Amino acid sequence: MFIQLFSNYLVGQSVITIEQRDSFQEEIQKTRVKLGTIAIAEGMLTEVQAEEINHQQTQQDRRFGDIAIELGYLTEEQVSELLGKQGNIAMKFFQLLVDHIGLSMETVTEHLNGFQKANGFTDEEFDAVKKDDFESIIPLFATVRDTTITDLAGLVMRNLTRFVTNNFYFGRMKKATEYSYSMLAGQKSIGDSNIFLGFSATNELDGIIKLAKYYAKTVTITSSDEVYDAVCEFANLNNGLFDSVLSDDDIFIEMVPPEVYLNQQISGNAYYMPVYIDDCEFDLVISTDAAFVPGDRPHSLNLKRTDLEIDSSKSVPTVLVVDDSALIRKILIKMLNENGYQVVGEAANGAEGVELYKDLEPDIVTLDITMPVMDGVTALKQIKEYNPMALVAMISAAGQKDKLMDALKEGAELFFTKPFNEQEVISSLKNI
């Protein structure tokens, strides 16, 4: 965050070129090693322990070191040591300016002072920016009284770092009562609180495409609708983590299936914050207004199914994958087929899943909980009515504890929370 903002300031001051900025940022990214990687290299953690901590971060909005201490894998002193080894990113950037541009540290300091003044940061605020401390930075860029807005924005920024890329920065949040867009993908949570979280583009989709492809990682995205679908899944991830915090405070909240809107405008109050990945912009859109409407006409996604290569001669367990997200289906199909299972079918909603289950009669079925047409719990009931011995694994985002309990009462054998831990998924399936 700091490197991106300060280097852009230096470009604007003609101190460095765009090419030099990109080269320095690339160099910084190479040295910005994750805490878990350093811990493994230092022999403080095993790969299994680091993976467990990473997975718990997908279920809880907490720091790597805090989870490691709670699990008893690391001491506070070891975490402090690892943070020291991780290094001061700002100082590394300053050193690049000295070594490659020929600036003196005195000149670098002068530019830092200019950058601080241009943004109106106090000394305390500026220290937080240099440390990329999102908890302190978000209130500087989002001067909003509603703490739900700032808390959710902070969670999104941390999850961009965890699951997308740390090569991003964001601008100041603005309030919008009139906001037009070329594309908006997001999800509502309803109940004791009404929250909408989405990601939009006002013109070009370059930033949205970057977000989708970086989030999907090794899974290939080939169409606009698959881009929208991946962005919906990222919104779902953030909503799930945030809703789990609200649920812990005894606030009832339920996520509805995400939706996509094209070339429309919002109705009601919302806040939007520009975010930049590789200089490509998209907007984070958040609303807690009960009257908020993201658009009039949801876009119907045309998501291609995977070309399944089914070998009936194989004596391996067969699986039906049911999820409204093409990205999640692709991830599960790839994971299962590479680990001794054969996916024989995929469905995009519960109703379609029930019919395919009756046609294919697979050994195992995975069911997403939140889906259009028919949700996963209803589909589970119908599958169990057809075959009480059916083996069903439920798929959910964090924050759906009540729905998961309902599913387990209805006979689901196990459940997995997105994003998946491959080792946990395969180990659990083998146990049933």
pLDDT in tens, 243-273: 777 766 667 778 888 999 999 999 999 999 9
Residue 419 contacts by C-beta under 8 Å, 6 or more apart in sequence?
Answer: 58, 163, 237
Amino acid identity, residue 243?
A: D
| 8-state DSSP, 301 | P
Structural domain spans, the chain: 2-132, 142-287, 318-431
Q: What is the mean pLDDT of the chain?
A: 87
**What 3-state DSSP class applies to 16?**
coil
Q: Cα(53)–Cα(40) distance, rounded to whole angstroms?
A: 12
Among 145, 159, 172, CA closest to 63: 159
> For 229-234, what is the mean pLDDT?
94
Are the beta carbons of 429 and 341 closer than 8 angstroms?
yes
- Cα→Cα distances 420→397, 398, 426, Å: 10, 11, 10
Question: Which superfamily is assigned to 142-287 in CATH?
Answer: CheC-like (3.40.1550.10)
| Beta-bridge mates of residue 146 | none
**318-431 is a CATH 3.30.460.80 domain:** no
Note the Cα 50 to chain centre separation in Å. 19
Lowest mean pLDDT among 246-250, 361-365, 391-395: 246-250
Lowest mean pLDDT among 51-60, 206-215, 385-394: 51-60
Q: Cα(133)–Cα(121) distance, rounded to whole angstroms?
A: 14
Residue 359, judged by CB atoms within 10 A of its CB (0-12, 13-18, 19+), counts as exposed
Are the beta carbons of 321 and 366 closer than 8 angstroms?
yes
Q: How many Cβ atoms from other residues are within 10 Å of residue 105's Cβ? A: 12
Q: Percentage of the chain with pLDDT > 70? A: 95
Is pLDDT at 391 greater than 80 in this prediction?
yes
Among 62, 254, 70, CA closest to 155: 62
> Tens of pLDDT along 76-135?
888 888 877 766 777 788 888 888 888 888 898 999 999 999 988 888 888 888 877 777
Structure tokens at 55: 């997975």
pTM (2 d.p.): 0.81
**What 3-state DSSP class applies to 281?**
strand
Is pLDDT at 310 greater than 70 in this prediction?
yes
> Tens of pLDDT along 184-205?
999 998 888 889 999 999 999 9
> Tens of pLDDT along 311-361?
777 788 899 999 988 999 999 999 999 998 999 999 999 999 999 999 999
For position 175, what pLDDT does the model report?
A: 93
For position 157, what pLDDT does the model report?
A: 92
